[in-house]
Amino acid sequence: MNLALLRLFFATDPGDKFWTAEVSERGAEEVIERIESTGYVSSKRSFERVRKRLQERSAASLEDEVGKSGGEFVTRGDTKWPHALDDLLSPPIGIIIKGSPPRCDSVALVGTRNPTQYGARIASEFSSGFADRGIEIISGGAYGIDTHAHRGAIAAEGRTTAVLASGISARYPAGNERLFEEILANGSLISEVMPNEKARPERFLTRNRLIAALSRATIVIEAAFRSGSLRTAHDASELMKVVLAVPGPITSPTSDGCHRLIGERCAEIVTSVSDAMEFLPQSACTLCIDDA
């Protein structure tokens, strides 16, 4: 375990482009030295806050927290590092994985936390259909469409991964604790924060880019006109990934976001798993860990 990277993982905010670039250019050890010697101009960024965070915890205590969680701190160059994350403008300094790392053949199913019966059924059916074809389901572990997507894959005895906005030990939402345990039976939990970190509102949007990057395609199933799921679709589009949307009744506010994506030609319309399969790229080798 790279303890210097783990310290920066703890001290900096997920998705911070500045620190990602600094670590890539200088290496973790030099970045820490510059922070501790006030080698950065505090008036331009919140360097003082990061410096204080570094002083709060020892590397040994951070390593112990990861170990007790049952997870593994994975960084670029490790065999379990998902190569698709390297395509992001701000790749994670590291991620914590509990369970089996996601496979290359995967799709993201995302949507509202308050689905209609129609949306819940479609999410479950799509998920099961992909699982039957050996495709892993990636989602966010939240209530609503996420939950139905994960459960559909589990019911079909397929693999599914939840990318959390919290740590893997402080799992959010708490009401899905049983679901998270079921996911771990044949899949994984992934997080960009320390295991005991609680979810914060801004982290949901930040983690959405990981969901988009890890998947061959992102499929939106019921989303309001302004929705975090649309952010995931946007992140996928920026990565030149396939974006698909399932239409709903024109009178349903929960489908407004899907119709917006389709109407603005940001997503292809799909009404079945067979439809979606026609849009998936043939090769996903760059999206996963080394097969060896």
Q: What is the pLDDT of residues 16-74, one digit of tens each?
A: 999 999 999 999 999 999 988 876 765 455 788 898 999 999 999 999 999 999 999 99
Whole-number Å distance between alpha carbons of 78 and 46: 30
Average per-residue pLDDT for the chain: 91
Its CATH class, for the domain covering 106-287, is alpha beta
- pLDDT tens profile 213-271: 999 999 999 998 888 889 999 999 999 999 999 999 999 999 999 999 999 999 999 99
DSSP H or E stretch at residue 136: strand 136-139
| % of the chain at pLDDT higher than 70 | 94
Judge whether 49 and 127 are in contact, CB under 8 Å. no
Q: Above 90 in pLDDT, residue 290?
A: no
Domain ranges of the chain: 1-57, 106-287
- Say whether the peptide bond before residue 92 is cis (omega within 30 degrees of 0): no
pTM across the whole model: 0.91
Residue 44's pLDDT is what?
52
Confidence of residue 292 (pLDDT cuts 50, 70, 90): very low
What distance lies between CA 57 and its chain's CA centroid?
Answer: 26
Helix (H/G/I), strand (E/B), else coil: 279:
helix
